[in-house]
Amino acid sequence: MEVVARAVIVRDGAVLLVRDVGASYWYFPGGHVEDGETAAQALVRELREELDVGVTLREHLATVPNPFVGDGVEHDEVDHVFAVTIDADDPVSAEPGLVAGWHRLADLDAVDVLPRVLVELVRSL
């Protein structure tokens, strides 16, 4: 099982999402929890690596199963989702293969976001 920490960063009616360059879908920033880390520690580390931002964890929102098939391989992922604030108004990806962007919450039906269940979670906040 893959354990992942994801951030929900909402500001002024928009949520921050990231995508791999060339990909058609967006996802909530974060990444894999490494051995010896808590999900919270992994999220702070991943956001620093991906977006070069400082993070304040506000609350744990949910733990969501996310089974999927990627590149023909079945993945059994569980996402630990946290509401966070960051210390940058308009973060830019610190990784060359990653793009970050703000998306209006009202427009998320038109945005391909994976896993989709996290969109419903954000709307319920």
Res. 54: pLDDT tops 90? yes
Interatomic CA distance for residues 86 and 16, integer angstroms: 10
* 112, containing H or E segment: none
Question: b vs e for 42-70, b when ≥16 Cβ sit within 10 Å of the residue's Cβ?
Answer: bbbbbbeebbebebebeeebeebebeeee
pLDDT in tens, 80-119: 999 999 999 889 888 999 999 999 999 999 999 999 889 9
Res. 46: pLDDT tops 90? yes
Query: Domain coordinates of the chain in residue numbers?
Result: 2-123
Segment 9-33 shows an average pLDDT of 95
Long-range contacts made by residues 66-71, C-beta under 8 angstroms, separation at least 24?
66/4, 66/115, 66/117, 68/114, 68/115
| pTM for the structure as a whole | 0.92
Q: Classify domain 2-123 by CATH number.
A: 3.90.79.10
Segment 38-61 shows an average pLDDT of 96
Q: Are 8 and 118 in contact (CB under 8 A)?
A: yes
